[in-house]
Structure 1
Amino acid sequence: MNPPVRVAVIGCGAHAQVAHIPALKQNRLVNLVALCDTDVRKVNHLCTLHGIPRHYVDFDDLKMDEDIDAVVIATPNHLHAPMAVAAMEYGKDVLCEMPLGLNAEEARLMVETAQREGRKFMPCLNTRLRPDVQTIGKFINEGELGQLYYCKTGWLRSRSSWSLEGWRGQRLRSGGGAFLGLGTALLDFSLWLLSPGRPVSITGVAHQRTPKADVEDTAFAMIRFDSDVLLTVEVGWSMLMEREFTYFNAFGTNGAALLNPVQINKEMHGHLVNVTPQISTKGIQRASFQTLIDLWISSLLKDSQSPVLAIDALLINRLADAFYRSSSSHCEVSLPGEPE
């Protein structure tokens, strides 16, 4: 493929407007040629605002446009798989928002379609690309914290900051509640930081604030790894609290790392020493999406494999499926290795 890569964004919600469109416009090797959304007024406005020449309200029309090389899919969850599969079958490379599908079966179909059609298929696993997460990763990979044995992560949002109106509150369209909706971002960087260790089992508990709710609003999971690391995950989007917060703590035999803000402590000569490097926390989410887009475009132009792999996103869907089985059965659920 020769530059510039002709890209279209499918789904023009807040995520596309704040993250994808600005990052694509910032990359000089991209020509953002089209937007697609069912809201014709919104898509017209965005095309005018950003100087984008074409708009579509019907994905079926866009997928047949031979002047589009690649697409970013930022639609509601239930549309990820059918749109990604169709786009690849029509010769387009795909960058898809997370979670890939409503379940592992859909995610696996997307991966298999990319292999069959010879297309580049990359998931939006951007949180592992945040500068602060990358810094913690360097300390872990270089053995600065010793052998990790316990990690915990969470994302708790106030009731007023998250709405279940629309597709997020409908299991058939979202695939799940707080665990899939919030836990996906946490599992993105947690699994990356704990690799090459692989999860072998999960125990999950879900809570629905109202009996009629279609999805859980609070969830807790305990994940065991083949490296003997234990990871706990807590998420919720209906907390009576003033503000949301996210965290990740990693504990090793020689030190510990904390996220939001980053703090690294090491045991040195019998004392606990703060060895945190200076890291700018300004615009870390925006920086992670810019890195993601740049890696994607580079892999398309070089016809090379991106370091952000679809198999990692498939693992998150598999963990979510196992979480919901565990929660309904009140038992620990094993996670066998993915067949080759």
Structure 2
Amino acid sequence: MALERTPQPLRVGVVGLGFAGTTALDAFSSLPGVEVVALAGQEQPRLDELAESRGVPNRYHDWEDLVARDDLDVVSIGVPNHLHHPIALAALGSGKHVFCEKPLAPTGALAQEMVDAARTANRVLEIAFNHRRRADVQYIRRYLDEHDIGRIYHARSSWRRRAGIPGLGSWFTNRQMAGGGPMVDLGPHMLDIALHLMDEPRVTSVSAVAYEELGRAGRGGRSGSTTTGGTRTFEVEDFASALLRLDTGGSIHLETSWASYSADEEDIAVELLGATGGARLFVRNYATDDTVRLYSDVAGAPAVTAPEVHVPAGHHLAVIEEFVATVRSGEWADAYGDYALHRSRVIDAVYQSAAEHREVEVP
């Protein structure tokens, strides 16, 4: 009788020492059959502290040295946006799967090159769209699967902060490094949730505006921000709003703000308007309860349902668990990041529309 072979551990290298890199490091380290064997980052004290506290045996100052290892199965990317593209191309080109923080890249053209590289190498390219894995978002998704609310003809999706520019003068506010402000930082999450709940329609055109009133004046910075990167000029927007037209004939209003003189300190909201019902997600200051409302008619009268949905921590872990499962499955043909590429193309169109003061088509 042949002995059943134990699957080899999945060996991971993590690039990045900030929130994204550390979150991915902890998530990968917590999974059975996964070993984080290498960590890269340029802040030496932080690199040493993380490697020692998490038991990572190999540490590198430069990401190129980590990616060059021939014993890695996965490279996880949690660094400033402009580095996603070169790291991913190098990792995919050397036969490694890639887990990447959002956005896929600062521009749609660079994102296309990443997706093409994943397809050529036949390796998984997954993006950290963790917010769609929130328990309340998943509850609404199941509700829509089980209840007919008619054609969803419009959605409102927004992430707004009262004062939350993540590091005035850091890489976040440098156009070349970040690619934009809140629309490229928060917008991918809100666009992803809306498209996910609406069964993945395609955005065909965009009409947008963008402003930089507070950030340009040095106001609206997040209190206690420790983001590093120097004292760069504020070069991006602090508020953007867009009307997206869909191939279904429907539409989405997408709005993002790092800073504005508005009522809420921070809120995440998605509202779906259907022909016979509706649903709303509203998360104030990262609330974990009482975030869902369902709208319908009961016995001819308007009805509002407030289901009890608790949102535990761990939705970042959930997306990494799914990524690991996909890698292990060997079924990679639909896992090259195409859906994330579409989101990058839409964000591109938002910035183009705002800059040119006209509606633009999405490729």
Give the TM-score taking structure 1 as reference length. Answer: 0.92
- Please state whether the residue corresponding to 1:257 is helix, strand or coil: strand
Hey, what does 2:307 align to over in structure 1? 277
- Superimposed CA distance per residue, residues 239-287 of structure 1 (whole angstroms, 9 cap, x where no aligned partner): 245621111111111211111311112222212233443311232xx2x
Question: C-alpha distance in 2, partners of 1:233/1:67?
Answer: 42
Provide the rounded CA distance (Å) in 2 between the counterparts of 1:113 and 1:182. Answer: 26
**Aligned pairs (5 A) from 1:16-31:** 16-17=21-22, 19-31=23-35
**Gap runs ≥5 in structure 1:** none
Q: 2:269 aligns with which of 247, 264, 268?
A: 247
Alpha carbons 1:123, 1:308 under 8 Å: kept: no
Matching residue's letter, 2:8: P
The one of 262, 271, 286 aligned to 2:292: 262
Matched position secondary structure for 2:258: strand
The equivalent residue for 1:6 is: 11
2:242 maps to which residue?
221
Q: Report how far residue 163 of structure 1 moved.
A: 2.2
Unaligned runs of 5+ in 2: 1-5, 218-232, 283-290
How far has the Cα of 1:300 moved from its partner?
Answer: 1.3
C-alpha contact (below 8 Å) 1:205/1:219 kept by paired residues: yes
Q: 2:37 aligns with which of 30, 33, 40?
A: 33
Question: 1:71-110, aligned counterparts within 5 Å?
Answer: 71-110=75-114
CA drift at 1:143: 4.3
CA distance in 1, matches of 2:308, 2:261: 34
The equivalent of 1:331 in structure 2 is 358
More helix by share: 1
What is the distance in 2 between the residues matched to 1:148 and 1:115? 33
2:240 and 2:347 map into 1 onto residues whose CA distance is 11
How is 1:78-157 mapped onto 2 (pairs within 5 angstroms)?
Answer: 78-157=82-161
Give the TM-score normalised by the residue count of structure 2: 0.86
Give the share of equivalent positions with the same residue, in percent.
30
Q: State the superposition RMSD in angstroms.
A: 1.9
Give the deviation of 1:118 after TM superposition. 2.0
Output one character per residue of 1:133-155: Cα deviation in whole Å (capped at 9) or x when no partner: 11111222344322111210111
Quote how far apart the aligned CAs of 1:321 are: 1.1
Instruction: Kindly provide the amino acid, as one letter, of the partner of residue 319 in structure 1.
Output: V
- Aligned letter for 1:94? V
Q: Deviations over 1:155-200 (max 9, x none)?
A: 1113256323221111110011121111111111111112242111
Deviation, 1:307, is 7.4
Report the CA distance between 1:228 and its aligned residue.
1.9
Q: Distance in 2 between matches of 1:195 and 1:186?
A: 14
Q: Aligned partner of 2:79: which letter?
A: T
Q: How many residues align?
A: 332
**Partner Cα separation in structure 2 for residue 2 and residue 173 of structure 1:** 40
- One-letter amino acid matched to 2:274: G
State the match for 1:316 in structure 2. Answer: 343
CA offset digits 1:8-39 (Å, max 9, x no partner): 1101101222x312221221121111111011
- Residue aligned with 2:271, SS: strand
1:269 maps to amino acid: A
